[in-house]
Amino acid sequence: MRIGNIDLGEKPVLLAPMEDVTDPSFRLICKEQGADMVYTEFVSADALIRNINATTRKLSINEAERPAAIQIYGKEVAPMVEAARIAEAAGPDVLDINFGCPVKKVASKGAGSGMLRNIPLLLEITRAVVDAVKIPVTVKTRLGWDCNSKIIVELAEQLQDCGIQALTIHGRTRSQMYTGEADWTLIGEVKNNQRMKIPVIGNGDITTPEKLAEYYDRYGVDGIMVGRASIGAPWIFREMKHFLQHGTLIEPIPAREKMALLRRQIRESIDRIDEYRGILHIRRHLAATPLFKGIPNFRETRIAMLKASTYTELDEILTFIEEKIF
């Protein structure tokens, strides 16, 4: 699969953009574990052009992450164009437009998946951003606003006509949020549309190497993006890439090796922000990781781990887990 001049190889596995998840440390670890391309957290166009520090920090890309995409969102043409130029100056390989975020504070204001209720404006923004930058522009969106407006097949063609160079489709409507099961049938229909010439990337509910391979074969997409299944489990990319290449599951990755990756995230999160906020940021990964699932009588230890507010306290708990459980 190619996006512009970027060759991602056959059946690439991409790390989805996720707010408060895909920070530089996590992206780099996922890249090292086999992700073929990574995406930043969502970057607000309005905040970016106001030079808000927390937003501009999201533009930082490590050379070892590449190829990497910066994803922006907004609801007006001029701010999106200005933000696109600022983002391009940060040096990403790809600029992605978010027309898929379903959270209320974004969608209710008309940005993210809220743009699915104003297709003329969505297309105007896309054309303007494509014209404003020299790097490849891509789009990530959903099937439609709700079950009565699944417009993705027609919209995909319209976006292609705007000049985007790849399209990622999450197999849910905005109204579904993240509930129910992702519907890939329309993603497959977009891919099988003879008028579509750009790569089509599928997204939604890809949680195992077996399902990844199955969906590649069933829907014929050019790429697959993995999101929530990677939270607290960056090694999933190693497992998925191995299965695609060899058709077998990889030998189980030792628990201590997985723990070392989580520890690295903790240290790098603290170094990037500060001790207290860095630990708060990493709690989502610690809460979601499958590493601790199935451990008998783990509830109290888990609660203590997620309440820890200093590195020393958290380190002691993780050391206890390593010594007593692993």
Residues annotated as part of the active site = 101
45 within 8 A of 73, measured Cβ to Cβ: yes
Residues of the chain by 3-state class (helix, strand, coil), percent to 5: 50, 15, 35
Q: Are 238 and 34 spatial neighbours (Cβ–Cβ below 8 Å)? A: yes
Torsion of CA 262, 265, 270, 276, to 10 degrees: -50
76 vs 87: CA distance, rounded Å: 16
The span from the CA of 71 to the CA of 66, in Å, is 14
Q: State which H helix or E strand residue 203 sits in.
A: strand 200-203
Between CA 98 and CA 206 the distance in angstroms is 20
* Preceding omega of 67 cis (within 30 degrees of 0): yes
DSSP string covering 164-194, please? -S-EEEESS-TTTTT-S----HHHHHHHH-T
